[in-house]
Chain A
Amino acid sequence: MAFLTPLEIRRFPWPLIPHEANLAAFYNIFGFDYALPNGTSPASGQAEQIIRGLINSVAVSIVVTMITLVIVLPLAYMFARTSFRLKNSLLFAILLGTALPPISTLIPFYAMYLRLGLVGTLTGLVIVNLTVTVPLVTWMLIGYFRNLPPIERLARIDGYGHLAAFVGLVLPQARSGVAVAAVITFLFAWNEYTYALMLVNGSTANTLPTAISGFLFMYPEPSNLAASVIITIVPPALVAYFLQRHVGDMNLVDAVR
């Protein structure tokens, strides 16, 4: 649909395969006019939102992924490999955090954010994303860390401290786990719509999914909507492509043992 001209779209049924690949929509959504043989396809009114949404989405996703990894890797490792007081209660609390649907926490978040002045800010969006990704990915990685060979004792004989062993010996072995955690976090942050719609839509902190939803409402522009969706698919596809070989390595089936 992204490659059809407005004329072709109006036909019914519209052709499944466009007669010629027409890049008009891709120009339009980034704010450029596009000359067609039978007239001009004008720049979309949503262009500003789309461009800003793209930049914001990339920024939010990367920042959320990085913060999540920094928090989750040591956290999951501790849960998997050490024992401490209240471990099981805390573990349960983490799981509970992932069990709530986002809708149910939306209004409390909004009320809180109003007071803190975080509505319509990227910081606010990052924080709200972390509340979901951190528990989810922690839970996922615990099983992974549990299955790594028990090298901690060997490391202590060799004179590594806890931190040195984790950074120098455990993480290098855990590359697949780190990669999978990164993919999942990135995809979640990239596709997150519910919170973004409520907290940042219409502001300068708009993300791509909410910006795209703009095409659905007052003046539907099907080609532009489709073109934006294709743009949206590109980054996660790239991320998944480069990290996919690790996903297979990671044995999630053994996670509960």
Chain B
Amino acid sequence: MARIEVQGLHKIYGKHVAVQGLDLEIAAGELLVLLGPSGCGKTTTLNLIAGLDAPSSGAIMFDGQDVTGISAYRRNVAMVFQSALLYPHLTALRNIETSLRHRGLDRAARRHRIAEVARMLGIEILLNKLPSELSGGERQLVATAKAIVREPEAFLLDEPLSALDAALRLSLRAELVKLQKRLGVTTVFVTHDQVEAMTMGDRIAVMSNGRLEQVGTPDEIYNAPVTLFVAGFIGTPPMNLIAGEIVAGQFRQGRFSIPVTAPPGPATLGVRPQDVRVVAPGGEGALQVEVFAMEHLGRESVLIAESGDGSKMRVLVPANFRARMGDHLGLLPDSAQCLVFGADGRRVIVERGSVSRYANR
């Protein structure tokens, strides 16, 4: 159960910078999710932590010891790859056994340990099957067994659930978290699925274009995004982002204005779909929109509306809300819940409200 530190990590492939100056600390026993769109460098980061790739510069420490030049195997990490990669020509049992190859354990001890792990995961009956005879979920369990049987310093999971169907993903998600908590192994979980990240992570590190955008608990990431990117990436339906400018303590876009605490200049206003009220059209200070579509979710609905400049706004409305395409409406964001981002894409921190409101929820 190592504490992992990543210091000033760079990885450059030819001209392409995959990871740029990454600093990260993962506490012992923590489940950290690396989240970002594809190509953001999260898998590269995971491979660097695993020791499968050598960084261009920077260091990786396990428990304060520099392991940057040490091979993947000697770091004693266990990795589960995308779509639960297994050796296709070996049975589940032999696949799991390869993890113990160099342990100096005799056959009986190895089999005993595998049996123990298999019982824990409930995969005893799968042990003599080939990977091609297993379903996606079963392969996932076998890959997990292969990972935990070696009692690693850290689990590194590279989008292990991405190839599974939605229902299975949901149940395995909870099982993985439960297992991780029970074993208390430091875990790094890479995903591009923000729901997965929010539900599984003790903390989430959001990456984009090889850079770390923000690290924090799911709560912090959701309620206090530090950058425009994080704000737009986290949350379903996504946060509404309105481009405009700040003049004399007011955020303005056309005739729409709302009081904010921020220095003057071009800015982007961010507001979650649940923090917007629908009002009659023509109202003072409201954003004038036209209904574009309605999405019914059952318990509530998402109203998608188009504002004058063609950008879409999403608003959560009660399930019984009725609107027809082309109807004119006014939207009034709750000013206490609005986040203001400066021209550099970073949040203007001076305003209060959202953090304190959600912090004690």
Say yes or no: A157 contacts B72, CB within 8 Å. yes
B88 at interface by CB-CB < 8 Å: yes
Task: Give the distance to chain B from A78, nearest Cβ to Cβ, in Å.
Answer: 18
Task: Give the distance to chain A from B186, nearest Cβ to Cβ, in Å.
Answer: 16
Say yes or no: A158 contacts B99, CB within 8 Å. yes
Say yes or no: B88 contacts A154, CB within 8 Å. no
A153 at interface by CB-CB < 8 Å: yes
Q: Which of A151, A156, A159, A173 contacts B85 (CB 8 A)?
A: A151
Say yes or no: B87 contacts A159, CB within 8 Å. no
Complex interface residues of chain B between 65 and 83 (CB less than 8 A to chain A): 71-73, 77-79, 81
Majority SS at the chain A contact face: helix
A149 at interface by CB-CB < 8 Å: yes
Say yes or no: A154 contacts B81, CB within 8 Å. yes
Given the contacts A158-B99, A159-B101, A159-B102, A153 and B89 also touching, CB distance less than 8 Å: no
Complex interface residues of chain A between 130 and 173 (CB less than 8 A to chain B): 149-151, 153-154, 156-159, 169, 172-173
B311 at interface by CB-CB < 8 Å: no
Task: Give the distance to chain A from B136, nearest Cβ to Cβ, in Å.
Answer: 14
Given the contacts A156-B71, A156-B72, A159-B101, A169 and B87 also touching, CB distance less than 8 Å: yes
Say yes or no: A158 contacts B85, CB within 8 Å. no
Task: Give the distance to chain B from A160, nearest Cβ to Cβ, in Å.
Answer: 8
Determine the chain B residues whose CB is within 8 A of the CB of A172 once the complex forms: 89
Task: Give the distance to chain B from A170, nearest Cβ to Cβ, in Å.
Answer: 10
Q: Which of A149, A150, A157, A173 contacts B78 (CB 8 A)?
A: A157
Say yes or no: A149 contacts B98, CB within 8 Å. no
Determine the chain A residues whose CB is within 8 A of the CB of B72 once the complex forms: 156-157
B52 at interface by CB-CB < 8 Å: yes
Determine the chain B residues whose CB is within 8 A of the CB of A169 once the complex forms: 87, 89
Say yes or no: A154 contacts B87, CB within 8 Å. yes
How far does the alpha carbon of A151 sit from the alpha carbon of B101 in the complex, in Å? 16
Say yes or no: A149 contacts B101, CB within 8 Å. no
B50 at interface by CB-CB < 8 Å: yes
Task: Give the distance to chain B from A138, nearest Cβ to Cβ, in Å.
Answer: 23
Say yes or no: A173 contacts B71, CB within 8 Å. no
Query: Of all chain A residues, which has the CB nearest B79?
Result: A157
Determine the chain A residues whose CB is within 8 A of the CB of B73 once the complex forms: 156-159
Task: Give the distance to chain B from A125, nearest Cβ to Cβ, in Å.
Answer: 36
How far does the alpha carbon of A173 sit from the alpha carbon of B50 in the complex, in Å? 25
Determine the chain B residues whose CB is within 8 A of the CB of A156 once the complex forms: 52, 71-73
How far does the alpha carbon of A157 sit from the alpha carbon of B88 in the complex, in Å? 16
Given the contacts A156-B73, A159-B73, A150 and B85 also touching, CB distance less than 8 Å: yes
Task: Give the distance to chain B from A116, nearest Cβ to Cβ, in Å.
Answer: 43
Determine the chain B residues whose CB is within 8 A of the CB of A154 once the complex forms: 79, 81, 85-87
> Chain B 95-133, CB within 8 Å of chain A: the 1/0 string?
000110110000000000000000000000000000000
Determine the chain B residues whose CB is within 8 A of the CB of A158 once the complex forms: 73, 98-99, 101
Say yes or no: B101 contacts A153, CB within 8 Å. no
Complex interface residues of chain B between 6 and 24 (CB less than 8 A to chain A): none
How far does the alpha carbon of A173 sit from the alpha carbon of B71 in the complex, in Å? 25
Query: Of all chain A residues, which has the CB nearest B85?
Result: A154
How far does the alpha carbon of A158 sit from the alpha carbon of B86 in the complex, in Å? 12
Task: Give the distance to chain B from A213, nearest Cβ to Cβ, in Å.
Answer: 45
Task: Give the distance to chain A from B284, nearest Cβ to Cβ, in Å.
Answer: 60
Determine the chain B residues whose CB is within 8 A of the CB of A153 once the complex forms: 47, 52, 79, 81
In the complex, given contacts A153-B81, A158-B101, A173-B89, what are 8 additional A-B residue pairs having Cβ atoms less than 8 angstroms apart?
A153-B52, A153-B79, A154-B79, A154-B81, A157-B78, A159-B101, A169-B89, A173-B88
- 23 residue pairs A–B, Cβ–Cβ below 8 Å: A149-B88, A150-B85, A151-B88, A153-B52, A153-B81, A154-B79, A154-B85, A156-B71, A156-B72, A156-B73, A157-B52, A157-B72, A157-B73, A157-B77, A157-B79, A158-B98, A158-B99, A158-B101, A159-B73, A159-B101, A159-B102, A169-B89, A173-B87
- Hey, which bits of chain B sit against chain A, CB under 8 A? 47, 50, 52, 71-73, 77-79, 81, 85-89, 98-99, 101-102
A-B pairs with the 6 shortest C-beta distances? A159-B73, A173-B89, A158-B98, A156-B72, A157-B79, A159-B102
